[in-house]
Amino acid sequence: MKKIPVLAALLAVLALTLALSRAVWQDRDSAPSAAPAPASALRFKTVDRAGNTADESLLAGHSLVILNFWEPWYPPCVREMPELEKLYEAYKDRGLLILGIYSEKGMEDKVDEILADAGTSYPILRSCKDFDAFATGYVPTTVFLDGEGNALSELLVGSRDYAGWEELVLSVLK
């Protein structure tokens, strides 16, 4: 008789686990959302893929900076990288800078493979605690900044195609 309550408890835990994992790992491609961005200007110090120091001085002189937080293990992040590269190439002469930021340690070979496959030429940075204010718990997460590091948009959660990115960029660059 003790088996029935234990089995019921296990089934309840399993159902709760499935519900939570669905909420956390849902594919945000179909429903991008937004959250408030930090109010203060971004200041950071980290490294790029070559190990060079990178800080907020990268932002100077750009009218629009896109911070794109991504991870190499999540397909929607990887899928939008060629779209972001195309966007960067189309608008970098008009003041656009894209910074790709990832945090997953131990996947550098995979990161390099993804960057090569996507033909990524915009800077890719290692995440650091200075970027924690932009954490949403979801990837990809993107925010638009000005050249001084001030947020121009909410935190945008979810991937987009080229047309979706271009519409957002043009609304800022005008």
- The rounded distance, in Å, linking the Cα atoms of 169 and 174 is 8
Is the pLDDT at 18 greater than 60, yes or no? no
- Kindly list the structural domains of the chain, giving each domain's residue range(s) and its CATH number in brackets, ordered by start: 31-173 (3.40.30.10)
**Total-model pTM:** 0.80
What CA–CA distance (Å, rounded) separates 28 from 158? 5
Per-residue pLDDT tens over the stretch 60-116: 999 999 999 999 999 999 999 999 999 999 999 999 999 999 999 899 999 999 999
Q: Residue 174: its pLDDT value, please?
A: 78
Under the banding of pLDDT at 50, 70 and 90, the label for residue 21 is very low
Average pLDDT over residues 112-132: 97
Which carries the bigger pLDDT value, residue 47 or residue 2?
Answer: 47
DSSP strand pairing (45-47 vs 53-55):
antiparallel
Whether residue 72 is preceded by a cis peptide bond, meaning omega within 30 degrees of 0, is no
Residue 55 has pLDDT above 70, yes or no: yes
The confidence band for 6, taking pLDDT boundaries of 50, 70 and 90, is low
Task: Pick the closest to residue 59 from 117, 132, 153, 146 (CA basis).
Answer: 146
pLDDT of res. 75: 97
Average pLDDT in the chain: 86
**Long-range Cβ contact pairs of 40-46 (< 8 A, separation 24 or more):** 41/148, 41/149, 41/150, 42/67, 42/130, 42/133, 42/145, 42/149, 42/150, 43/130, 43/149, 44/128, 44/130, 44/131, 45/128, 45/130, 46/125, 46/126, 46/127, 46/128, 46/130, 46/131
Residue 20 pLDDT: 37
Q: Poorest-confidence range of 35-44, 59-68, 77-86, 144-153?
A: 35-44
pLDDT value, residue 58: 97
Look at 131 and 23; give whichever has higher pLDDT: 131
